[in-house]
C-alpha cells in the first residue's frame, strides 16, 4: 500500500547525519550541538509522522514492511517492519534520545565524536526494535554496543575504564549466546537458512532443543534487561557514565532486553516459555526485593538509582512470565513508563552531581534551598518511581499485579506467594527513594566550599524535566493511550499459548 521506505530512512538518517558531523569546520560546539538536535528532532518527527499516517492500530500484523535482499547466498534480507509491540519502544527511543542529546549540551570534550556517537546510538536503538530479520536484529543489537562502550570509556567518571570493560565483556559475552541461538534457530530443519521472523513463528522444534535455545536467548536478554544474577554491570556502568549516556542506558537499552524476551522468547519459543515462566516470575519477584534492599545499602546516588532500575525491571519479568493478557500489557506499559522515569531520575542525579560534585549521599544535604526546582522535580519523579497513583509507574505496576491475579496458568498458592513477595517491594521502594530525597535535599548544610553558590536548573534542564514529566503524568491519567498500541499484538502473541 505504501512503498516509501519509512523505517529505513528513520534508521539510517541519524547515523548518516552523524557521520556528516566530521565534515564540519572547527567552529565551536554550538553548530554541532544544534545540528545534532535538529537531526534528532527531524528523525523523531519523521517517525511520528510515519506512524501516525501509515500505521493502523487495529491491525496486529506487521506494517510498514520493507524487504530488500542484501546477501544472496544465505537469504539475508534488509527487512524491517513494525507492529504494536515495537511502536511504543521506537517512539520512546526517539523521545529519550532527543532529550539526552539536549541534556548532553555541557559536554565539550571531543564534542564532534560525542554527538556522532549519540546519533549512532539513535540508529542502533531503533534498529533492533524494528528489524524483522533475526540476523539483522543481531547486527543492530551489536551496533549499539560500540557507541555505549565508547561513550562510557571516554566521557565517564573516574573508574570509567573498569566499568566500560565490564560492560563490553558482559554484553559481548551475552551476544555469543544470542548469536548461537539465532544461528541455531535459523539453521534448524531446512536446507536453507530461515531468518525471517514470520516464518520462524510457525516453526516448531523438539522440546529439548527449544529449551536449549530458550536458555541461550534468556541469558542474552537477561544481561541486557538485567535479570539477577547478571546485573552487576549495570550499577557500575550507570555509576560512571555521563548522565546523557545513563539516560539512554536506563531509558532504552534496558528495554531492549525485555523487548527481546517478548519478541523472541515468547513469540518464537512459546512452548519453552510456558515451561520457564513460573521460574521467571519467581525470579522477577525475588529481583524486586533483592535489588530494592541492595539499593538501600548503597551510598552512591547513581548506583542507588541504578539498583532501583534493576528492581523495577522485576515487574517486567513478572509481567512477561505471567502469560496473561493483562500482565503482558502491564509489562509493555512498564517498558515505556520506566523508560521515562529512569531516564529522568538519572538526568536529575547527573545535573545535581554537576553542581555539587558529590556522589555520596551522606555528604550531601540541604540542597532544597539553593535548588528548589530540582528539588520539586526530583520529588515528583521519586513519587512516580515509587508508583504513586496518577503517574505511569502506578498503572504499570497495578496492571502487572492484575496480570498475576488473573493469570489462568497458576495455582492460587503460587499467585498469593508471588503477589505477596512483589508487594513487599512496594514497601522497600519508598524507603530508598525517600531516603535519597531526605539525604540530598532535606535538612540544612553550610557549604564551606569556596564555590558555594549553586544555580538552580536553567530553562534547558527545566524543559527536559517537564517534557519527561508530561508523558509520565499523561500515561498515569490515561494509560489507554499506550495500551492501545499493543493490545492487539499482545492478544496475537498470547494466542500461541492457548
The DSSP 8-state label assigned to residue 4 in this structure reads S
**SS3 for 435-480, per residue?**
HHHHHHCCCCCCCCCCCCCCCCCCHHHHHHHHHHHHHHHHHHHCCH
DSSP code for 189: S
- Contacts by residues 385-389 (CB-CB < 8 Å, ≥ 24 positions apart): 385/308, 385/312, 385/341, 385/342, 385/345, 385/429, 385/433, 386/429, 386/430, 386/433, 386/434, 387/426, 387/429, 389/476
Closest CB to another protein among 5 and 430?
Answer: 430
Pick between residue 97 and residue 337 the one whose CB is nearest to another protein.
Answer: 337
**Cell, residue 318:** 513478572
As measured in angstroms, the least distance from the Cβ of 441 to another protein is 7
- Written as nine digits, the cell of 424 is 513487599
Cβ closer to another protein: 53 or 58? 58
Give the shortest CB-394-to-another protein separation in angstroms.
8
- Rounded Cα distance between 112 and 259, Å, is 31
Distance CA 96, CA 15 (A): 17
Q: How far is the CB of 23 from another protein (least distance, A)?
A: 39
Q: Cell 532535606 appears where?
A: 442
Residues 6+ apart with CB under 8 A from 258: 221, 225, 313, 316, 317, 320, 331, 335
Least Å from the CB of residue 340 to another protein:
18
C-alpha 385/C-alpha 437 separation (Å) is 12
Closer of 342 and 476 to another protein (Cβ): 476
> In angstroms, rounded to a whole number, what is the distance separating the alpha carbons of residues 383 and 390?
10
Nearest to 267 by CA among 328, 349, 335: 328
Q: Which CB atom, from 30 or from 445, has the smaller least distance to another protein?
A: 445
Residue 437, C-alpha cell as written in the block:
530525597
Q: Which is nearer to another protein, 125 or 422 (CB)?
A: 422
Report, in Å, the least distance between residue 420 CB and another protein: 7
CB of 405 vs another protein, minimal distance in Å: 5
Of 165 and 274, the one with the shorter C-beta distance to another protein is: 165
Distance of alpha carbon 341 from alpha carbon 378, whole angstroms: 10
Q: What residue ranges in 57-143 does DSSP mark as E strands?
A: 63-71, 76-82
- Measure CA 211 to chain center: 26
Our CB check for another protein shows the closer of 51 and 441 to be: 441
Number of H helices, E strands in the chain: 20, 2
Residue 240 or 325: which CB sits closer to another protein?
325
How near is the Cβ of 338 to another protein at its closest, in Å? 18
CB closer to another protein out of 86 and 429: 429
CA dihedral 38, 39, 42, 48 (to 10 degrees): -130
Q: What's the min distance (Å) between Cβ of 258 and another protein?
A: 19
Cβ-based nearer residue to another protein, 282 or 423: 423
Shortest approach of another protein to residue 97 CB, angstroms? 25
Nearest-approach distance from CB 326 to another protein, in angstroms: 5
Residue count of the chain, please give it. 498
Contact 78/70 with Cβ under 8 angstroms? yes
Binding site for another protein (CB under 8 A): 165-166, 169-170, 228-229, 231-232, 290, 293-298, 324-326, 329, 366, 368-369, 373, 376, 379, 383, 388-390, 394-395, 398-399, 401-402, 405-406, 415, 419-420, 423-424, 426-427, 430-431, 434-435, 437-438, 441-444, 462, 479-480, 483, 487, 491
Apex 270 CA angle, 264 and 276, nearest 5: 95
CA count, 13 A, side-chain hemisphere, 388: 13
Q: Residue 48 or residue 419: which is nearer to another protein going by CB?
A: 419
CA 454 to chain centre: 32
CB of 390 to another protein, least distance (A): 7
C-alpha Rg value of the chain to the nearest Å: 22
CB of 26 to another protein, least distance (A): 38
- Supply φ then ψ for residue 76, to 5 degrees: -95, 120
Match 510515519 to its residue by C-alpha cell: 50
Amino acid at each position: 500500500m505504501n512503498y516509501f521506505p519509512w523505517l529505513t530512512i528513520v534508521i539510517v538518517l541519524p547515523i548518516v547525519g552523524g557521520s556528516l558531523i566530521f565534515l564540519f569546520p572547527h567552529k565551536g560546539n554550538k553548530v554541532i550541538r544544534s545540528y545534532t538536535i535538529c537531526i534528532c528532532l527531524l528523525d523523531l518527527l519523521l517517525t511520528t509522522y510515519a506512524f501516525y499516517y501509515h500505521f493502523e492500530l487495529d491491525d496486529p500484523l506487521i506494517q510498514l514492511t520493507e524487504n530488500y535482499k542484501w546477501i544472496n547466498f544465505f537469504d539475508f534480507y534488509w527487512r524491517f517492519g513494525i507492529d504494536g509491540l515495537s511502536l511504543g519502544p521506537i517512539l520512546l527511543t526517539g523521545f529519550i534520545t532527543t532529550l539526552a542529546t539536549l541534556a548532553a549540551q555541557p559536554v565539550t570534550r571531543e564534542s564532534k565524536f560525542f554527538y556522532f556517537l549519540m546519533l549512532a546510538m539513535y540508529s542502533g536503538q531503533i534498529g533492533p526494535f524494528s528489524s524483522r530479520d533475526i540476523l539483522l536484529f543481531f547486527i543492530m543489537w551489536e551496533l549499539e554496543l560500540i557507541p555505549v562502550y565508547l561513550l562510557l570509556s571516554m566521557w565517564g567518571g573516574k573508574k570509567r575504564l573498569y566499568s566500560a570493560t565490564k560492560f563490553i565483556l558482559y554484553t559481548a559475552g551475552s551476544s555469543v549466546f544470542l548469536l548461537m541461538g539465532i544461528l541455531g534457530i535459523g539453521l534448524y530443519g531446512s536446507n536453507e537458512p530461515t531468518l525471517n521472523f514470520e516464518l520462524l513463528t510457525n516453526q516448531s522444534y523438539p522440546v529439548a532443543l527449544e529449551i536449549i535455545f530458550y536458555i541461550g536467548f534468556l541469558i542474552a536478554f537477561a544481561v541486557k534487561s538485567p535479570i539477577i544474577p547478571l546485573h552487576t554491570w549495570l550499577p557500575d556502568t550507570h555509576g560512571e557514565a555521563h548522565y546523557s549516556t545513563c539516560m539512554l542506558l536506563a531509558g532504552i537499552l534496558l528495554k531492549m532486553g525485555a523487548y527481546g524476551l517478548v519478541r523472541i522468547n515468547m513469540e518464537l519459543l512459546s512452548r519453552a516459555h510456558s515451561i520457564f515462566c513460573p521460574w521467571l516470575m519467581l525470579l522477577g519477584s525475588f529481583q524486586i526485593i533483592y535489588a530494592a534492599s541492595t539499593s538501600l545499602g548503597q551510598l552512591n546516588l547513581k548506583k542507588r538509582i541504578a539498583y532501583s532500575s534493576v528492581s523495577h525491571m522485576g515487574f517486567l519479568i513478572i509481567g512477561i512470565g505471567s502469560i496473561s493478557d493483562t500482565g503482558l500489557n502491564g509489562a509493555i506499559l512498564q517498558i515505556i513508563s520506566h523508560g521515562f522515569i529512569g531516564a529522568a531520575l538519572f538526568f536529575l542525579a547527573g545535573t545535581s552531581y554537576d553542581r555539587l560534585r558529590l556522589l555520596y549521599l551522606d555528604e550531601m544535604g540541604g540542597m532544597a534551598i539553593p535548588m528548589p526546582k530540582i528539588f520539586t522535580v526530583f520529588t515528583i519523579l521519586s513519587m512516580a518511581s515509587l508508583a504513586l497513583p496518577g503517574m505511569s509507574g502506578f498503572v504499570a505496576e497495578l496492571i502487572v499485579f492484575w496480570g498475576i491475579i488473573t493469570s489462568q496458568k497458576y495455582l492460587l498458592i503460587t499467585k498469593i506467594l508471588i503477589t505477596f513477595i512483589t508487594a513487599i517491594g512496594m514497601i522497600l521502594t519508598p524507603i530508598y527513594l525517600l531516603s535519597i530525597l531526605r539525604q540530598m535535599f532535606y535538612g540544612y548544610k553550610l557549604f564551606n566550599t569556596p564555590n558555594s553558590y549553586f544555580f538552580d536548573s536553567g530553562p534547558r534542564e527545566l524543559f527536559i524535566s517537564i517534557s519527561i514529566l508530561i508523558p509520565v503524568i499523561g500515561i498515569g491519567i490515561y494509560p489507554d493511550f499506550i495500551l492501545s498500541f499493543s493490545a492487539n499484538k499482545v492478544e496475537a502473541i498470547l494466542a500461541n499459548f492457548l
